[in-house]
Structure 1
Amino acid sequence: MTSSNTNEAEEIVGGQLAAYNARDIDAFMAYWHDDALYYEHPATLLAEGAAAIRQRHEIRFAEPLLFGQLLTRVSVGNLVVDREVVRRTFAGGVGTVDVIAIYEVSDGKIAKAWFKLGTPKLDTVTDH
């Protein structure tokens, strides 16, 4: 693929991350194919189709501190790999989790995505 295709794939993935950080579900979903597949790496299907992906993220977008900080982005052709640290509200409290996200872009939208999450690290609270 040409570098323009690589740039297009990166722009699409970057746009969905910006919509994720804005917690704008409609803008976020505009980057996903109607029949997109969403996996826990390597092969556990978590959501099939835009409606299921939307449902997962409506819950997540309710978290007021949700934010994905991009550390690194690399791409080859229509595959984009992001390394992120995501701030979330977990069952045990607020913290961060390391994430590797792999996106396959097709026809201008995300067709497949795989996510590998590290162990959540809860913020520590100290009394002064």
Structure 2
Amino acid sequence: MSPEEIVDGQLAAYNARDLEGFLGFYAKDVPVHAFPSGEVMADRSGPAFEERYAALFESSPDLHAELVSRVTHGRIVIDQERVTGFMGGEARSAVAMYEVGPDRIEKVWFVV
């Protein structure tokens, strides 16, 4: 699959709140960083990553991320999304940058 197809797959699983499908698009040790600080927000090597998304999917039955724009440069995919239903709150804008390996997302940065 192309980097865009992998990122599209995780977005579809996110919108379906399909935890196992969502996790399947990520490398087992994927780090999630805050951008630009580089602070690690989550790390898939432990339970925090899975627990974070399990709790989000459980508490947000109307969760939906709409792709607003995308930039792809080689194996880097940068998405701007409009997220609604996030823990019952108002719509918000989100920007995520994914470094995609041959078959999974290997690094993530969220612009905060």
Length-normalised TM-score, structure 2: 0.89
Q: Deviations over 1:52-92 (max 9, x none)?
A: 321110011111111101011120110000010111345xx
Q: Radius of gyration: which is bigger?
A: 1
Q: Partner residue of 1:104?
A: 99
- The answer to whether the aligner puts 1:82 opposite 2:79 as a matched pair is yes
Runs of 4+ in 1 over 6 A off after TM superposition: none
Q: Partner residue of 1:73?
A: 70
Q: Partner residue of 1:30?
A: 24
1:100 partner SS: strand
Deviation at 1:44, TM superposition (A): 1.5
* Matches of 2:109 and 2:33, distance apart in 1: 5
Segments of 5+ residues of structure 2 without an aligned counterpart are: none
CA RMSD of aligned residues (A): 1.5
Q: Deviations over 1:18-64 (max 9, x none)?
A: 00000000000000000101112121211112533211100111111
Identity of aligned residues (%): 37
Ranked by relative contact order (alpha carbons within 8 Å, sequence separation 6 or more), the top structure is: 2
Deviation at 1:116, TM superposition (A): 1.7
Length-normalised TM-score, structure 1: 0.79
* Matches of 1:89 and 1:107, distance apart in 2: 30
More strand by share: 1
* Matches of 2:25 and 2:85, distance apart in 1: 22
Segments of 5+ residues of structure 1 without an aligned counterpart are: 1-6, 118-128
Equivalent residue in structure 1 for 2:57, among 51, 57, 61: 61
- The answer to whether the aligner puts 1:39 opposite 2:14 as a matched pair is no
